[in-house]
Structure 1
Amino acid sequence: MVHPFRFGLMSRSGNSAKAITDHAKRAEALGYHSLLYNDHYLGPGPAMAEAHHPIQEVAPIPAATLAAAVTDTLVIGFRVLCVDYHNPVVLAKELATLDLLSEGRLDIGLGAGWIAAEYAAMGIAFDRPGVRIARLGETVEVLRACFGEGQVDVRGTHGVHASGFEGVPKPVGNPPITIGGGGPKVLSLAARVADIVAFNINNATGKLGPDGPRSATAALTKEKVDLVRAAAGDRFDDIQLEIGSYFTVVTDDVEGAAAALPAQTGGMLDLPLSELLEHPHVLIGDVSRICDTLVERRERYGFNYVTVREADMESFAPVVERLVGK
């Protein structure tokens, strides 16, 4: 099944009410489907420096609530919330409330966490990947139970427990749950239980670096999609596949822009030119070339939901205008 294109923006939330509201209104005006917030809490210091990760000024859920309040059609959500940073029952209530207040305009993105230094700085145990991923699956169970009818009764084996109550409020509709990740275990979980599978680079090292992009070349991404297809079984055609285009350059000088990317990313994209140009998380070219690339990648991988950085909102808007809904 070919799903129509939709486009999202990855936001770092801004640092003021005006920045958040202006950004949300502009995203809606330009035709973006969604505005998706990240889930990080630490200010400047050695923890995030060790992770080579940029600072996020404000918390994602309040920022998303403000964005929803100043827009009418824009879907708001998260790419992604780390389940280890949130009590599952509290998270379920916050998300159901946000869906209610936005009148059904919520996308729920969840992940198993990956920044070891952030966990350590926050005093949270950084369990091995299999445990974190299993806990992610148990959190999805809690959310679905709280959103549904009847008493909640989830008794997980990795610290997730919720029982003896009915979840309130109920979401207006049925907010889709996205699970994002780059490794086989989390992608297999996403294939089984998520509505949207978000393909990411594999950040198994716990920090941003060149190993991430190398884990998501064209060939390796095809293997990931095949894994999801096999794990999803009969439900595969109902799942939407999302890809984050972290490195997007709208330009007529394709080779020049590609050649500059390794230095611009601090060596993170240290790949041969041919691999760089076909890398699923990279988009370089003029509007027509990028549109053709996205159509080809949808045919090859199934990616219909493409998310770009907020910094690329204006330059990428002509692509949105040309392809959205097609």
Structure 2
Amino acid sequence: TFPSIGSIVARERGPRRSGMPSYISVPVASSIGLRPGYFGGNWMGMQYDPFQTGGDPNNANFKVANLNLAGGMTVDRLSSRRDLNQRLDRISKTVERGTLFEAMDKFDRDAFEFVSGPAARKAFDINSEDPRIRDRYGRSNWGQSTLLARRLVEAGSTFVTVHFGGWDHHWNLEPGYKSVLPRVDMAVSGLLKDLSDRGMLESTLVILCGEFSRTPRMNDGGNGGPPGSKGTPGRDHWGNSLFCLLAGGGIRGGQVVGSTNARGERPLTRAVKPCNLHATIYKALGMDPTLHLLDHQGRPTPVLEDPSPIHELF
């Protein structure tokens, strides 16, 4: 499986500040029940998987596990143990160094910086946020997860994803959308306003995008639905056209790139592919979209099929 874009960014860029994970998923990195699934580092190694916060940031008692040292452990004791571990590791010259050992080394470095400094604990403490700001994002899992993402970027993380699950409305579409649309509207508008107020919007690229779209025509509600679902129509999977929203990050906003036919069935003008969206992200982050990585067999592999960014955005 190919590495995720967040993992590639983590490898090439790392965190913007020491003590923060470079790549984070709030609250989970989940794809068809697999964690991290297609959000992971895959053949680049698990050291580039996202840090998953878990939990629900909207809960009053929300905490991220493993942020504090175990009882009786101090930073000095932890540092001494780490020094001893490094000495023993250097003694083991007969051990062949490989991907697993490289992953362990990176885990060791990242974990020490993570738990020995205050940056991560402060960033994850969403309960310290101004209640008025929390209200702006919406008091929901999605809203508070998006607010947490802003706090993490502000603290020094480079790439943060927020998981908005629950859009698979093969049936019962109307009440389903009445539930999800207000939550995502508040989360995204709250984020853009907050980033703008803090002077962060021009340096932070915000993307709202799914993995595919939904059928332009409604079904009869019976596709995969539970007993009694017929008569509550929905929309099925559709891969021929979809859209993504981009804001901030130095891109030129206030425009629509491309068009579909009247029913949204297929592109009519300026069709772009996921690789072009990824190239746009890489360019906004100052990375080379023509980058090649060595795969698990040591072969140089391009990260993108077509490294052309969406030039209208720059």
Q: TM-score, normalised by structure 2?
A: 0.37
The one of the two structures with greater contact order (alpha-carbon pairs below 8 A, sep at least 6) is 1
More strand by share: 1
Report the structure number with the largest CA radius of gyration: 2
Greater fraction of residues in helix: 1
